[in-house]
Amino acid sequence: MKPLSDEPTRIEIDGHRLQCHHCSKEQFHRCRLRRQTASASGMRVDWHEAVAHAFICAHCGFLHEFLTH
Ligand SMILES: [Zn+2]
């Protein structure tokens, strides 16, 4: 995992301000993660790599992750 950015910031996704699911605070560190995702096509499962945007609550450390499409 990459080092966290220094300054926590407010995040807005699709017009909704991100609020920590655990402590309801609104300050987050950003980072990017690589994820393996699977999609089934017929009988096969295809694995591909996706980049996820992760936001880590600056207060409690809860990780919120969004996969890009
Ligand atoms: Zn939190």
Planar angle of CA 4, 33, 61, nearest 5 degrees? 45
What's the pTM value of the predicted model, to 2 decimals? 0.73
Distance 14 CA to ligand 1 centre (A): 20
Distance 3 CA to ligand 1 centre (A): 19
Amino acid type, 8 = P
pLDDT at 69 over 70: no
- Taking only the tens place, the pLDDT of each residue in 20-31 is 999 999 999 999
Within 1-69, residue ranges assigned H as helices are none
Distance 54 CA to ligand 1 centre (A): 13
Side-chain half-sphere CA neighbours of 58 within 13 A: 15
Residues 6 or more apart whose Cβ sits within 8 Å of residue 5:
29, 30, 31
Residue 36's pLDDT is: 87
Distance 10 CA to ligand 1 centre (A): 12
- Taking only the tens place, the pLDDT of each residue in 29-51 is 999 988 888 888 888 888 888 89
Q: Tell me the average pLDDT of the chain.
A: 89
pLDDT at 1 over 80: no
Distance 25 CA to ligand 1 centre (A): 6
Determine the length of the chain: 69
